[in-house]
């Protein structure tokens, strides 16, 4: 890997679908984007657990679901500990309405205008960070 490609892989944001719970008890997904700089250490940690010195990545296909759950758990823990790490957040329109009524989470002033066929609303990331402890599906934090 060249120095230039290494920078590219560590730049920008990465998206995660974080499970949350609505007031109706249904699972909703919070689309969150975090900095790659926050994600790279998590990936390196997973390399140490699921790989070895010669093969730093999960080589056993059967372990991939465990790796994905572990990564999502680390991302959720990171967002709970550092809510300011949320760079962008979006949810379905119905869930956005619920979040407005429960927490007064407003649409993002920088949100994208989505056509009606795309059921999504960009939310204010700072406000989402404040509500996250109350809506996060805590089952993802379990091992």
DSSP string, the chain: --HHHHHHHTSSEEEEEEEEE-TTS-EEEEEEEEEHHHHHHHHHHHHHHH--SS--S---GGGHHHHHHHHHHHHHHHHHH-GGG--EEEE-HHHHHHHHHHH-PPBPTT-----TTS--EEE-HHHHHHHHHHHB-GGGG--
pLDDT tens digit string along 33-49? 999 999 999 998 998 88
Assess whether pLDDT exceeds 50 at residue 7: yes
pLDDT tens digit string along 68-114? 999 999 999 999 999 999 999 999 999 999 999 999 999 998 877 88
Structural domains in the chain (count): 1
For position 5, what pLDDT does the model report? 47
Q: State the average pLDDT over residues 1-8.
A: 54
Give the burial class of 42: count Cβ atoms within 10 A of its Cβ; 0-12 exposed, 13-18 middle, 19 or more buried. Answer: middle
Under the banding of pLDDT at 50, 70 and 90, the label for residue 3 is low
| Residues above pLDDT 70, as percent of the chain | 93
Instruction: Supply the Cα-derived Rg of the chain in whole angstroms.
Output: 17
pTM over 0.85: yes
Structural domain boundaries enclosing 121: 3-141
Assess whether pLDDT exceeds 50 at residue 31: yes
Assess whether pLDDT exceeds 50 at residue 65: yes
Assess whether pLDDT exceeds 90 at residue 4: no
Under the banding of pLDDT at 50, 70 and 90, the label for residue 136 is very high
């Amino acid at each position: 890997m060249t120095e230039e490609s290494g920078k590219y892989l560590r730049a920008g944001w990465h998206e995660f679908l974080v499970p949350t719970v609505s007031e109706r008890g249904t699972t909703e997904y919070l689309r969150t984007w975090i900095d790659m700089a926050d994600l790279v250490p998590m990936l390196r940690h997973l390399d140490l657990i699921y790989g070895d010195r010669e093969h730093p990545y999960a080589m056993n296909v059967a372990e991939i679901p465990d790796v994905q759950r572990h990564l999502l758990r680390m991302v959720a823990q990171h967002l709970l500990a550092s809510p300011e790490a949320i760079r962008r957040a979006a949810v379905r329109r119905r869930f956005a309405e619920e979040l407005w009524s429960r927490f007064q989470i407003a649409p993002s002033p920088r949100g994208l205008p989505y056509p009606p066929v795309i059921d999504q609303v960009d939310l204010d990331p700072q406000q989402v960070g404040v509500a996250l402890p109350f809506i996060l599906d805590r089952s993802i934090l379990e091992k």
